Amino acid sequence: MTVHTCALINSTLVTETRGERKERTRRAILDAALRLCEDSSLVALSLRQVAKEVGIVPTAFYRHFDSIEALGLELVDESFVSLRAMLLDVRRSDPAFDDIIDSSIGILVEHVHQQRAHFQFIVRERAAGPLRVREAINTAIEQFEKELATDLVRLTGTTTWSPDDLQILSGLIVTAMVGLAEAILRTPDPGAEKAIVEGARVQLRMVLVGALNWRSKR
């Protein structure tokens, strides 16, 4: 004589397929992990903390990830989706030539604020995460450098620049932009942030001046 209740799971009326439900929990785990390691690191994050935050029992974690490290790799992928969205924004906007810097930096700053947790995760785990996570992040950043290098070809024309030098310039720009993101993330005061962003603009202009006067191959 089972009472056939219209089952109430997680305080939501269910017309949810099994897969949807699983995906929802999975998302909750990813979000909880991102939130919990915000002021420490993946390497100091325990499976039990995550489970408690999500509201599941510790062993249920394994239904979704093999380990915290595997979860971390997933977060890396997810974070770099944010970054790619940013790059698309940058490429889509097609400002006048001497506005490229201001425009790009503006987009970066906006994305850092909107995806603060993702950027913070990448910056932190790049230096301190589990080995595989660090590797994944650095591979992705190298990929960005290569893409930026090909973008630069379009801007400069390939005449005076060797591919090597383009790659190196690209690395310099990426380093500066990562540095800007880091600086923003560690600066809570909006006033100080404005100064930092302005400084980054000037830095990129300096690099641009250097680039325009550069002659490859010597």
The contact set with a copy of itself (CB under 8 A) reads 39-41, 43-44, 123-128, 131, 134, 138, 165, 167-169, 171-172, 175-176, 178-179, 182, 186, 199, 202-203, 206-211, 213-214
Question: Could you tell me if 148 and 173 are in contact, meaning their C-beta atoms sit under 8 angstroms apart?
Answer: yes
Task: Tell me how far, at minimum, the Cβ of 155 lies from a copy of itself, in Å.
Answer: 15
Question: Which of a copy of itself, DNA, none binds 118 (CB below 5-8 Å, type-dependent)?
Answer: none
Q: How far is it, in rounded angstroms, from Cα 97 to Cα 94?
A: 8
Among 12, 40, 67, 162, interactor with DNA by CB under 7 A: 67
Any contact of residue 12 with DNA (CB under 7 A)?
A: no
Task: Tell me how far, at minimum, the Cβ of 207 lies from DNA, in Å.
Answer: 43
Any contact of residue 21 with DNA (CB under 7 A)?
A: yes
Question: Could you tell me if 125 and 41 are in contact, meaning their C-beta atoms sit under 8 angstroms apart?
Answer: yes
The identity of residue 156, as a single letter, is: T
Task: Tell me how far, at minimum, the Cβ of 37 lies from DNA, in Å.
Answer: 12
Among 32, 64, 79, 169, interactor with DNA by CB under 7 A: 64
Task: Tell me how far, at minimum, the Cβ of 162 lies from DNA, in Å.
Answer: 49
Binding mask 23-62 for DNA (x = CB under 7 A): --x--------------------xxxx--x--xxxxxx--
- Determine how β-strand 8-9 pairs with β-strand 12-13: antiparallel
Structure token pair of residue 8: 């109430």
Question: What is the greatest pairwise CA distance in the chain?
Answer: 89
Structure token pair of residue 74: 């997933």
Write the DSSP assignment of 43-105 as a string of letters. GG--HHHHHHHHTS-GGGGGGT-SSHHHHHHHHHHHHHHHHHHHHHHHHH----GGGHHHHHH
Task: Tell me how far, at minimum, the Cβ of 158 lies from DNA, in Å.
Answer: 51
The structure tokens 């903390």 sit at: 49
Any contact of residue 200 with DNA (CB under 7 A)?
A: no
* 159-188: contacts with DNA (CB under 7 A): none
